[in-house]
Chain A
Amino acid sequence: MSETLNKTRLYEKHVAAGARMVDFAGWLLPVQYPTGPIAEHHAVRKAAGLFDIDHMGQFMVHGEDALPYLQAVLTWDISTLQDNDAHYSLMCYDDGTVVDDVFVYRRGKDYMVVVNAGNRKKDLRWMTQQAKGYDVQVTDVSDETYMLAVQGPKAEAILQRITDIDLSQVPRFTSAAGRVAGIFTLLGRTGYTGEDGFELFFSADEAEHMWDAILDAGREDGLLACGLAARDSLRFEACFPLYGHEIHAEIDPISARLGYFVKTQKGPFVGRNALLKIRLEGPKQKLVGLEMVDKGVPRQGYPVLIDGEPRGHVTTGMKSPTLNKFLALAYVPAEHSALGTEVEVLIHGRAKKAVVVKTPFYVPVYRRKNQS
Chain B
Amino acid sequence: MSDYVFMEDRRYAPTHEWAKVEGDVAVVGISDYAQHSLSDVVYVELPEVGRVVEKGEAVAVVESVKAAEDVYAPLSGEVVEVNEELPDNPEWVNEDPYGKGWFFKIKMSNPAEYEELLDVEAYKKVVEEEEH
Q: Are the chains A and B members of one assembly?
A: yes
Instruction: Give chain A's interface residues, CB within 8 Å of chain B.
Output: 20, 31-32, 36-38, 229, 233, 295-297, 299, 318-319, 326, 348
Residue of A nearest to B61 (CB): A348
Residue of A nearest to B58 (CB): A348
4 additional contacts (CB under 8 A) given A38-B65, A229-B39, A319-B65: A229-B66, A297-B43, A297-B63, A319-B43
Q: Is the CB of A318 within 8 A of B87?
A: no
Residue of A nearest to B37 (CB): A20
Q: Is the CB of A37 within 8 A of B43?
A: no
Q: Is the CB of B65 within 8 A of A296?
A: no
Residue of B nearest to A232 (CB): B65
Q: Is the CB of A318 within 8 A of B45?
A: no
Q: Could you say which residues of chain A place their CB within 8 Å of the CB of B127?
A: none
At the interface, yes or no: B42 with Cβ under 8 Å from chain A? yes
Option from B40, B43, B45, B66 in Cβ contact (under 8 Å) with A326: B43
Restricting to B38-68, which residues have a CB under 8 Å from any CB of A? 39-40, 42-43, 45, 61, 63, 65-66, 68
Option from B61, B63, B66, B68 in Cβ contact (under 8 Å) with A31: B66
B73 to chain A, nearest CB (A): 16
Q: Is the CB of A295 within 8 A of B43?
A: yes
Interface residues in B, total, Cβ within 8 A: 11
Q: Is the CB of A295 within 8 A of B87?
A: yes
Question: In the complex the two chains form, what is the Cα distance from A229 to B61 in whole Å?
Answer: 20
Q: Is the CB of B45 within 8 A of A37?
A: no
Question: In the complex the two chains form, what is the Cα distance from A38 to B43 in whole Å?
Answer: 13
Which 3 residue pairs of A and B lie closest in terms of their CB atoms, listed nearest first?
A319-B42, A297-B63, A38-B40
Option from A32, A295, A297 in Cβ contact (under 8 Å) with B39: A32
Question: In the complex the two chains form, what is the Cα distance from A20 to B67 in whole Å?
Answer: 15
Restricting to B51-92, which residues have a CB under 8 Å from any CB of A? 61, 63, 65-66, 68, 87
A-B contact number at CB 8 A? 36
Question: In the complex the two chains form, what is the Cα distance from A32 to B45 in whole Å?
Answer: 24
Question: In the complex the two chains form, what is the Cα distance from A205 to B65 in whole Å?
Answer: 34
Q: Is the CB of A37 within 8 A of B63?
A: no
Q: Is the CB of B87 within 8 A of A299?
A: no
Q: Could you say which residues of chain B place their CB within 8 Å of the CB of A319?
A: 42-43, 63, 65
Option from A233, A295, A326 in Cβ contact (under 8 Å) with B65: A233
Q: Given A229-B65, A297-B68, verify A36-B43 contact (CB < 8 Å).
A: no
Q: Is the CB of A348 within 8 A of B45?
A: yes
Option from B39, B61, B68, B87 in Cβ contact (under 8 Å) with A37: B39
Q: Given A233-B65, A348-B68, verify A296-B42 contact (CB < 8 Å).
A: no
Q: Is the CB of A36 within 8 A of B42?
A: no
Q: Could you say which residues of chain B place their CB within 8 Å of the CB of A36?
A: 39-40
Can you sample 7 A-B contacts with CB below 8 Å? A31-B66, A32-B39, A229-B65, A297-B42, A297-B43, A297-B63, A348-B61
Question: In the complex the two chains form, what is the Cα distance from A356 to B67 in whole Å?
Answer: 24
Question: In the complex the two chains form, what is the Cα distance from A359 to B42 in whole Å?
Answer: 22
Q: Could you say which residues of chain A place their CB within 8 Å of the CB of B40?
A: 36-38
Q: Is the CB of B45 within 8 A of A296?
A: yes
Q: Could you say which residues of chain A place their CB within 8 Å of the CB of B65?
A: 32, 37-38, 229, 233, 318-319
Task: Pick from B40, B45, B65 the residue with the most CB of A within 10 Å.
Answer: B65
B125 to chain A, nearest CB (A): 23
Restricting to B7-24, which residues have a CB under 8 Å from any CB of A? none
Residue of B nearest to A326 (CB): B43
Q: Could you say which residues of chain A place their CB within 8 Å of the CB of B39?
A: 20, 32, 36-37, 229
Question: In the complex the two chains form, what is the Cα distance from A13 to B112 in whole Å?
Answer: 50
Question: In the complex the two chains form, what is the Cα distance from A20 to B40 in whole Å?
Answer: 13
Question: In the complex the two chains form, what is the Cα distance from A37 to B42 in whole Å?
Answer: 11
Q: Could you say which residues of chain B place their CB within 8 Å of the CB of A297?
A: 42-43, 63, 68
Q: Given A295-B87, A297-B63, A348-B61, verify A318-B42 contact (CB < 8 Å).
A: yes
